[in-house]
Amino acid sequence: MDTRVLHTFTALARTGSFTATAAELHLAQSTVTVQIRALEKELGARLFDRMPRGALLTEAGRRLLAHAEDVLAAESRLLAAAREDGPVAGRVVVGAGETLCSAHLPFVIAALRSTHPEVEVHLEPCGTAEAVEGLRSGRLDLALLLEERPDFAEVRVRRVGAEPLVLLCAPDHRLAGAGRVVDWAELARESFFLHEQGCSYSDRLARELLAVPGARPRLTRFGSIEAARACVAAGLGLTVLPRANVRDALREGRLAVVDGPALGEVSVHLAHHRRRFLSRAAGAVAGEVGRRFAE
């Protein structure tokens, strides 16, 4: 069996679209159709239901998918073994939230360019749920998760570090340098600009604020950390962010720390699919990520 056909099958299972699969694999759409029909004929089973909105795996297709991924992983291991003495090279797609993409991964890429110049890293900003789906589907090779206790089926995680959290306001806000610890009851009367839902540390702060009896905090969510940070710098309210993302703003006096309840830190985990082979290039990226956080 030609493993190229299995690549097409797994891509179609992930995208659910003949058009998207053809674009991803740089094939004509007719070629994708021919390969899937040939695979179905060879196996004697219908693998997809062709629906108006796309291709859906049949029960037989779902049974085949895990085995196809195992075959492709074995193929990757075979190719890696043959190239063991050559340079570390290849494309690695890493998913991570905006916090980590902006604060840490550029330094990882810079280090790799000197140690492994033939490794090509692509960053895909995404939240935890999207990152886990990306690992499961094969769209991502690695992911960095800001989660306290990540436990996801088919995903292996390793804690590589932690991000200290800080409560922030504008330098001229009345809570900046208040000379006392601001409690939850007082904070629950403020306006907050937080990262989007699914961000573990923002969700944690929102839960604490909403748990205050009679609390009516004004919570505004943004898909961009920069948007939340800009609103706070303009004096419109407060936010919580990892210190790594605001170190320059604090040093330059554009933001100030609120002396409030202890927020602790949020753990950073490196994740990959349990059953997928980790290429030498992905291993190099994982090693550099570990070194970055160890520093």
Q: Considering the entire predicted model, what is its pTM?
A: 0.66
90-162+267-294 topology per CATH = D-Maltodextrin-Binding Protein; domain 2 (3.40.190)
Fold classified for 3-82: Arc Repressor Mutant, subunit A (1.10.10)
Position 82 scores a pLDDT of 61
What is the spatial distance between Cα 260 and Cα 175, in angstroms, rounded to a whole number? 9
Domain chopping of the chain, boundaries: 3-82, 90-162+267-294, 164-264
- pLDDT given for residue 81 in this prediction: 64
Per-residue pLDDT tens for 215-256? Answer: 888 999 988 888 888 999 999 999 999 888 888 899 999 999
**Tens digits of residue pLDDT in 11-37:** 898 888 999 889 888 889 999 999 999
Identical fold between 90-162+267-294 and 164-264: yes
Residue 178 has pLDDT above 80, yes or no: no
Report the CATH superfamily, name and number, of domain 164-264.
Periplasmic binding protein-like II (3.40.190.10)
How far apart are alpha carbons 6 and 35 in whole angstroms? 9
CA distance 264 to 63: 44
Residues 65 and 13 sit within 8 Å (Cβ to Cβ):
yes
pLDDT at 76 over 90: no
Tell me the DSSP string of 238-268. BEEEEGGGTHHHHHTTSSEEB--S---EEEE
pLDDT-derived band at 65 (thresholds 50, 70, 90) equals confident
Q: How far apart are CA 229 and CA 151, in angstroms?
A: 30
How confident is the model over 38-54, as pLDDT tens digits? Answer: 999 999 999 999 888 88
What lies within 8 Å, CB to CB, of 200 at 6+ separation is 128, 146, 147, 148, 266
Look at residue 68 and give its three-state secondary structure: helix
Rounded Cα–Cα distance for residues 98 and 81 (Å): 35
What's the rounded mean pLDDT across residues 182-204?
90
Longest alpha-carbon distance in the chain: 75
Q: Is the pLDDT of residue 170 over 90?
A: yes
Question: What angle do helix axes 29-43 and 18-25 make, rounded to 10 degrees?
Answer: 110
Q: Is the CB of residue 58 less than 8 Å from the CB of residue 47?
A: yes
In this prediction, residue 206 has a pLDDT band, given cuts at 50, 70 and 90, of: very high
Q: Tell me the pairing of strands 191-195 and 256-257.
A: unpaired
Dihedral angle sign, alpha carbons of residues 109, 81, 158, 125: positive
Residues in the chain: 295
Which DSSP helix (H) or strand (E) runs through 227? helix 225-233
